[in-house]
Amino acid sequence: MIILRIAGGIRQHFGMRVTEWIMTGALFGWSAVLAGDPSTFSTARAFAVIASYGDEAMWANICLFAGLLRLGALTVNGTFRQFRFSPHLRAGASIASCVFWGQIALGVLIAWLTLGGGGTGVIAYSTFMAIEMWNLFRAWADVGAGHRRL
């Protein structure tokens, strides 16, 4: 019964939350790659600056935590009406993801400017950050809508 209820809630809100689901996949993907290949940063000049912030394991854990937070928020989103804090959780996950993708974009930009190569990564990771900013905007709009209903 609960599985059907959760599946129905996800299906009902999926279209409005599709970018959040996609970015959740990106976080889990990054986590898996970094956990599976501890030499990721040492094999690409573009990640030289990011490696100075922390190793692959640290970044993998940050991605995993942010992805799990968002997955939980998206799972309960709209499914359990009595839990009115799912937009807050979604906003928190978006903030964490904005910081994460922003750090990646900044690190790749600095590496590109100082070491050369990897300019496409600046565009890609900045785009991820922009998507997360949009997700944050949408989540806070839902927080406001929830407060107006009270």
- The pLDDT, as a whole number, for residue 145 is 75
- The pLDDT, as a whole number, for residue 137 is 94
- pLDDT band of residue 149 (cuts 50, 70, 90) is low
pLDDT at 142 over 70: yes
Give the whole-angstrom CA distance, residue 25 versus residue 27. 5
Residue 14 CB contacts under 8 Å (≥ 6 apart), including other chains: 21
Residues 103-132 pLDDT 10s: 999 999 999 999 887 789 999 999 999 999
pLDDT at 150 over 70: no
- pLDDT band of residue 9 (cuts 50, 70, 90) is confident
Residue 81 CB contacts under 8 Å (≥ 6 apart), including other chains: none
Cβ atoms of residues 110 and 49 within 8 Å: yes
Give the whole-angstrom CA distance, residue 119 versus residue 126. 11
Residues 24-80 pLDDT 10s: 999 999 999 999 999 999 998 889 999 999 999 999 998 998 899 889 888 887 677
DSSP state of 132: H
Domain ranges within the chain, ordered by starting residue: 2-149
Element (H, E) at 56: helix 56-76
Task: Name the token pair of 93.
Answer: 């996950």
pLDDT at 21 over 90: yes
